[in-house]
């Protein structure tokens, strides 16, 4: 017997699956309070200068496709690789110079601390840079403010960030690091190929696991927290339930390395590209901003609609349970093959400004 409303008409049918689509916007007001009312985690976040919209920061410009505002293009090599490669190669160069001059190598414990700090400083530099870019170029769906760090979860966000930059180097030291290997053991001719293969394999595992979380009810319960943010910022890249965090931080990179076991120096360069892309994908900056690891294969991917741009993941966050798309984070290879791509709204082919290019600030 069907349920009836008070007026006698049939009640609306309930949607199948968990009712988690209507995620409220996350309230973020803590950064407006006096310093003595903040937790130590909140004070540390402020000290690190990584808030996307800090107190007294001017509002970013708002652009729209309807007004004829084109989306600027961010070059891959002259801007993105120029920013990434020095930060990827400098720690290896210092490490290699130490080996050459002393004949010794870093102890694994010291190597972990060294690469953990290098990873942390790179991640912080990326977040600050992307925040500056948002202030200059605005954000997708710019009439809606970007989500901040929730008042009741600032500690969770901080520890998620710390987990990302510590667990990955720790796993690599135990599994990949070789004290007999030179830190300069990178083949410059093969590196672009290795970066592409690493990104495609990692994205395959991530696509399968990510799509499953939007399809299987009990898995969605472990992913729903990450989708509380409909307009994320870089600090929310790792913001998720503990189960998902372990998948993102450790399981997916481990599966990738088992399929494609690169040496430690190459793995390190890949990770700098990955942390850059993960923060970029959650920044929302209004640019035609392609993921950089695909490198010289990017034009080929574009022919088959397989190149990933920042707007793709931004659109993904505006959807939820069983209604999402754009599950990949490095390419659109698997989304295209799986039929789960979603049309861009602002960064369409006819709305990209290829002439007035943007810069990584």
Q: Is residue 36 part of a domain?
A: no
In a domain? residue 28: no
Q: Which pair of tokens denotes residue 241?
A: 């339930």
Q: Is the pLDDT of residue 121 over 70?
A: yes
The tens digit of pLDDT for each residue in 204-255 reads 999 999 999 999 999 898 898 888 899 999 999 888 887 787 888 889 999 9
Closest of 361, 290, 296, 271 to residue 330, by C-alpha? 290
Question: Please, are residues 72 and 287 in contact by the beta-carbon 8 Å criterion?
Answer: yes
What mean pLDDT is reported for the chain? 89
Number of domains forming the structure of the chain: 1
| Position 249 in a domain | yes
Q: What is the mean pLDDT of residues 20-45?
A: 80
The total of other beta-carbon atoms located within 10 Å of residue 8's CB is 6
Residue 64 within a domain: no
Least confident piece of the model among 14-23, 35-44, 132-141, 177-186: 14-23
The answer to whether residue 263 scores a pLDDT higher than 80 is yes
212 contacts 219 by C-beta, under 8 angstroms: yes
pLDDT of residue 161: 84
Within a domain: residue 57?
no
Please check whether residue 51 lies inside any domain of the structure: no
Q: Is residue 340 part of a domain?
A: yes
Domain that holds residue 144: 72-353
Q: Specify if 224 maps to a domain.
A: yes
pTM: predicted TM-score of the whole model, two decimal places:
0.90
Residue 294 confidence (pLDDT) = 85
């Amino acid at each position: 017997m069907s349920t009836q409303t008070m007026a006698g008409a049939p009640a609306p049918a309930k949607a199948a699956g968990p009712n988690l689509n209507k995620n409220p916007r996350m309230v973020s007001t803590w950064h407006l309070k006096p310093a003595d009312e903040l937790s130590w985690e909140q004070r540390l976040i402020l000290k690190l200068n990584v808030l996307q919209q800090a107190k007294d920061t001017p509002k970013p410009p708002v652009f729209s496709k309807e007004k004829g505002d084109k989306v600027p293009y961010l070059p891959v090599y002259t801007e993105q690789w120029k920013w990434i490669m020095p930060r990827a190669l400098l720690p290896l160069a210092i490490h290699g110079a130490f080996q050459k001059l002393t004949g010794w190598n870093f102890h694994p414990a010291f190597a972990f601390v060294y690469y953990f700090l290098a990873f942390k400083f790179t991640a912080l530099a990326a977040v600050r840079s992307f925040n500056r870019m948002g202030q200059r170029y605005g954000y997708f769906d710019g009439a809606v403010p970007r989500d901040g760090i929730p008042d009741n979860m600032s500690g969770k966000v901080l520890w998620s960030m710390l987990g990302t930059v510590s667990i990955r180097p720790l796993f690599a030291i135990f599994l990949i690091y070789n004290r007999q290997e030179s830190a300069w053991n990178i083949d410059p001719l093969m590196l672009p190929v290795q970066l592409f293969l690493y990104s495609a394999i990692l994205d395959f595992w991530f696509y399968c696991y990510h799509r499953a979380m939007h399809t299987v009810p009990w898995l969605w319960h472990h992913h729903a927290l990450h989708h509380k943010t409909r307009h994320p910022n870089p600090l929310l890249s790792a913001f998720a339930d503990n189960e998902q965090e372990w998948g993102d931080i450790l399981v997916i990179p481990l599966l990738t390395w088992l399929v494609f076991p690169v040496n430690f120096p190459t793995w390190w360069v890949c990770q700098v590209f990955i942390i850059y892309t993960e923060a970029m994908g959650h920044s929302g900056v209004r640019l035609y901003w392609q993921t950089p690891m695909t490198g010289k294969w990017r034009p080929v991917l574009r022919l088959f609609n397989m190149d990933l741009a920042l707007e793709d993941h931004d659109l993904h966050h505006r959807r939820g349970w069983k209604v999402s798309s754009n599950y990949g984070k490095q390419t659109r290879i698997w989304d295209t093959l799986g039929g789960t791509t979603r049309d861009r709204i602002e960064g369409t082919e006819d709305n990209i400004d290829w002439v007035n290019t943007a810069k990584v600030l």
